Structure 1
Amino acid sequence: MTQLDVLYRYGVPPTEASALAVARVREVYGVRRIEFDEAAKTIRVEYDATRLNEPMIHELLRRAGLDLIERVVLAAPPAPVPTPAPAAS
């Protein structure tokens, strides 16, 4: 089992109906946890990557009625390793 997290920023706060629909997304096999941060207007989903992928999670949340604006990068990619300058002879 490979567990991944994905974080999305949403625009309009979820309505009661969409909040209930998001709660049902938790019942999808492979979704481990869903956390809302109302202050930051984000939703974090922990899922099993052997069962689901990020586009599937995105679609589940959109179908639940969330106004997803963007995916938030959780970790920056590693900086490129500089190549050493050739030695002068």
Structure 2
Amino acid sequence: MTTVEVLFRYERHPSEAAMIALGNMSEIYGIRRVTINEAWQTIRIEYDATRLNAATVGQLLRRAGISVSEELPPLPQLDQPASQPAPAK
């Protein structure tokens, strides 16, 4: 299994039905985790790359009712500490 993360930006806040569909996405074979950041209007999805690809994951989001505007380059998770630069000598 090859785990990959993809990050999407959405335009409008998801409806209640779309949020329910997002909650059920983890039941799709190959989807491991779905994380929503409402402040940045992003959805991060961790998936098995041997089963799915980024285009398919984006299509699943659109079918769930999410207004995906773009795929973003992967960013580090906020709960991970940022690396500190080496002190100048």
The TM tier, using the shorter chain, reads 0.7 to 0.9
1:39 Cα deviation (Å)? 0.3
In structure 2, what is the equivalent of residue 33 of structure 1? Answer: 33
1:17-58 CA distances to partner (integer Å, 9 max, x unpaired)? 100011111110110000000000000000000111111101
Distance in 2 separating the partners of 1:55 and 1:71: 9
Q: Which runs of 4+ in 1 moved over 2 A?
A: none
Partner-residue secondary structure (3-state), 1:35: strand
TM-score scaled by structure 1? 0.81
The amino acid across from 1:73 in the alignment is P
Distance in 1 separating the partners of 2:59 and 2:25: 11
- 1:77-88 to 2 correspondences below 5 Å: none
> Number of paired residues?
75
- 1:49-88 to 2 correspondences below 5 Å: 49-74=49-74
Partner-residue secondary structure (3-state), 1:26: helix
The amino acid across from 1:16 in the alignment is E
Distance in 2 separating the partners of 1:6 and 1:15: 22
Can you give the 5+ residue segments of structure 1 that lack an aligned partner in the other structure? 76-89
Measured on the aligned residues, the alpha-carbon RMSD in Å equals 0.9
The amino acid across from 1:61 in the alignment is L
- 1:9-24 to 2 correspondences below 5 Å: 9-24=9-24
**For the pair shown, which has the larger CA radius of gyration, 1 or 2?**
1
